Amino acid sequence: MSQQLESLCLRLERCVAKLEKCSGGSGAGDSADSVPASVVAYNEFVEDFLKPYYAASAVLGGLIDEQAKLFQTLSDKHRDFLMVVAKNAEPKDGSVLQKLLAPVSGAMSKVQDLRSADYKNYCSALNEGSMAFSWMGYPKAPMKFVEGIRDSVKFYTNKVLVESKNGDKKEENRAWVKVYTGLFDGLIEYIKGNHRTGPSWNASPGKPAPPPKPDHLVKNSSEAAAHGGTSDIFIPPPPPCPPPADSPTETGFVLDFSKADQAKRALMADLNQGVEITKSLRKVNKDEMTHKNPELRKHHTAVPFKSQTAEYKPVGMAKKAAVKIPPKFELEDGKKWVVEYQEGATITIDDTNMKQIVYIYKCNKSTIQVKGKVNSIILDSCKKTGLVFDALVSGSEVVNCQSVQVQAQGQCPTVSIDKTDGCMVYLNKECLDCQIVTAKSSEMNVSVPRDDGDYDEHPIVEQFRSYWSPTKKVFVTECVDSLG
């Protein structure tokens, strides 16, 4: 009961604050007339969802409070971008949009750079949550994008609740998780009401439409001054409806329904005749038929054929430039090397040990070399990327890649290839006992060294044939031999 009273009092305080703002209070920042409706709605989102999160983070203090301050800076940069969107037309050049989003990306990187092993799940939740402010790069479904971010955040906040279950700040952590996960629901509602299909650019820059007035009473100091200095101005009601038209007798126009009734009765009488009604039809003579009288066809010329001068070209929406994610190369928690979003880069990892793993994600036209012996290496969603490593404890995985190369210079127990189109594996004499496991992949080849130092290339089977064996009572699967 006490919690309900507290929430009710908090809502009343917010309503009073909003009414005081609307009653003509002057303050710093943008004036009420210059702030577009979408930015006003975002200010309400900050008041209702972000500020409670800031307060809950301040209670926990330490790194959590520092992250909240960086998150507040990210929110301010996001608001500046929304102000530009509301007052300007959509830029035709994609590079202009990237420049406008540069401050948001910079603030997002600062949030993600602040990490600590003691607050691992907090940091992971903040890193995932900061990505929600890049919804502008998904114009087709921004709300679904934020919903996915919210689900990812809840994965880590649930771990926070489990860790703090027996701690001293159990209730504080629970309150922090509640307000932090709730702000994504508020962001989804804001996008739904203002930017359902991407940023709502101003169609007529320089002439923003004022927000609609809900009541006939206007309580605004600037509008009151324009109307004579009074504080309460009533908008006059609309004019009355026009008087009714004169009666038919006065205008001289009288409806006569008797003629309509006569026409209906005549129609029904003709229908009731049945087949007898055809006796009144006249037979058409041959000289009156167009297909039998050539003289009649002279008066009816055929329409000349007109070929299409221009080919049909379907009109499609111009593709908007996607938000470029900054590349990443770092060691997380001393156990995991992360290499992400590299473009045409050459990276060498020297400081390694057998307990570390290497995760390579969405790299394009890059080369990654891993020196020393590590536990495992994962190559995920990469294109035209080369991987060279010295030795592995467990093995290497290639997932969702295209046109990649993997070279083993030492021990490698297994190489797993899954959902990959185009993979070349180079083995060393020390790892000829390597096992290669494939699934849903194509264009796979393995190069094995010869005694003279050259390599022999061998393809991996992609097509199989299965048939029922009556003697074994099972299905037998065999590879299909190439006939080329």
Work out the pLDDT band at 208, boundaries 50, 70, 90.
very low
* pLDDT for 20 beyond 60: no
Question: Between these two residues, 140 and 468, which has the higher pLDDT value?
Answer: 468
Work out the pLDDT band at 346, boundaries 50, 70, 90.
very high
The mean per-residue pLDDT over the stretch 261-277 comes to: 81
Tokens of 191: 């996008």
CB 97 within 8 A of CB 81: no
Tokens of 29: 């920042």
- What pLDDT does residue 227 have? 44
Please give the Cα distance from 300 to 482 (Å, whole number).
67
Question: Between these two residues, 321 and 223, which has the higher pLDDT value?
Answer: 321
Tokens of 139: 């114009």
**Residue 371, C-beta contacts closer than 8 angstroms, at least 6 positions apart:** 348, 349, 350, 352, 390
Sign of CA dihedral 333, 338, 340, 342: positive
The mean per-residue pLDDT over the stretch 49-62 comes to: 89
- What pLDDT does residue 232 have? 44
Please give the Cα distance from 233 to 297 (Å, whole number).
78
Q: How many CB atoms lie within 10 A of CB 253?
A: 9
Amino acid at 239: P
Please give the Cα distance from 321 to 94 (Å, whole number).
5
Question: Between these two residues, 21 and 151, which has the higher pLDDT value?
Answer: 151
Helix (H), strand (E), coil (C) string for the chain: CHHHHHHHHHHHHHHHHHHHHHCCCCCCCCCCCCCCHHHHHHHHHHHHHHHHHHHHHHHHCCHHHHHHHHHHHHHHHHHHHHHHHHHCCCCCCHHHHHHHHHHHHHHHHHHHHCCCHHHHHHHHHHHHHHHHHHHHHCCCCHHHHHHHHHHHHHHHHHHHHHHCCCCCCHHHHHHHHHHHHHHHHHHHHHHHHHCCCCCCCCCCCCCCCCCCCCCCEECCHHHHHHCCCCCCEECCCCCCCCCCCCCHHHHCCCCCCHHHHHHHHHHHHHHCCHHHHHHHCCCCCHHHCCCCCHHHHCCCCCCCCCCCCCCCCCCCCCCCCCCCCCCEEEEECCCEEEEECCECCEEEECCCCCCCEEEEECCECCEEEEEEEEEEEEEECCECCEEEEEEEEEEEEEECCEEEEEEECCCCCEEEEECCEEEEEECCHHHCCCEEEEECCEEEEEEEECCCCCEEEEECCCCEEEEEECCCCEEEEEECCCCC
428-463: pLDDT as tens digits: 998 999 999 999 999 999 999 998 888 999 999 888
Work out the pLDDT band at 338, boundaries 50, 70, 90.
very high
75-114: pLDDT as tens digits: 898 888 888 888 888 888 778 878 888 888 888 888 888 8
Q: Which phi and psi angles does 331 have, rounded to 5°?
A: -105, 120
Please give the Cα distance from 84 to 456 (Å, whole number).
60
Please give the Cα distance from 231 to 346 (Å, whole number).
68
Work out the pLDDT band at 18, boundaries 50, 70, 90.
low
- What pLDDT does residue 248 have? 46
- What pLDDT does residue 228 have? 42
- Pairing mode, strands 336-340 and 328-332: antiparallel
373-417: pLDDT as tens digits: 999 999 999 999 999 999 999 999 999 999 999 999 999 999 999
- What pLDDT does residue 25 have? 40
Question: Between these two residues, 188 and 228, which has the higher pLDDT value?
Answer: 188
- What pLDDT does residue 282 have? 82
- What pLDDT does residue 386 have? 96
355-378: pLDDT as tens digits: 999 999 999 999 999 999 999 999
Work out the pLDDT band at 331, boundaries 50, 70, 90.
very high
- What pLDDT does residue 202 have? 80
The mean per-residue pLDDT over the stretch 274-301 comes to: 78
Question: Which residue reads 């402010």 in tokens?
Answer: 133
Tokens of 390: 């010295």
CB 446 within 8 A of CB 460: yes
Mean pLDDT across the chain = 80
CA-based nearest residue to 431, from 451, 445, 419, 449 = 449
Amino acid at 251: T
Distances (CA, A) of 406 to 203, 241, 313, 440, 447: 51, 82, 44, 18, 10
Half-sphere exposure of 225 (CA within 13 A, CB side): 3
Tokens of 196: 């359902």
Distances (CA, A) of 62 to 69, 365, 410: 11, 41, 46
Question: Which residue reads 């307060």 in tokens?
Answer: 55
Please give the Cα distance from 148 to 409 (Å, whole number).
40
Q: Which residues face 455 on adjacent strands?
A: 449
Tokens of 477: 């699967």
Work out the pLDDT band at 292, boundaries 50, 70, 90.
confident
CA-based nearest residue to 463, from 484, 441, 479, 440 = 479
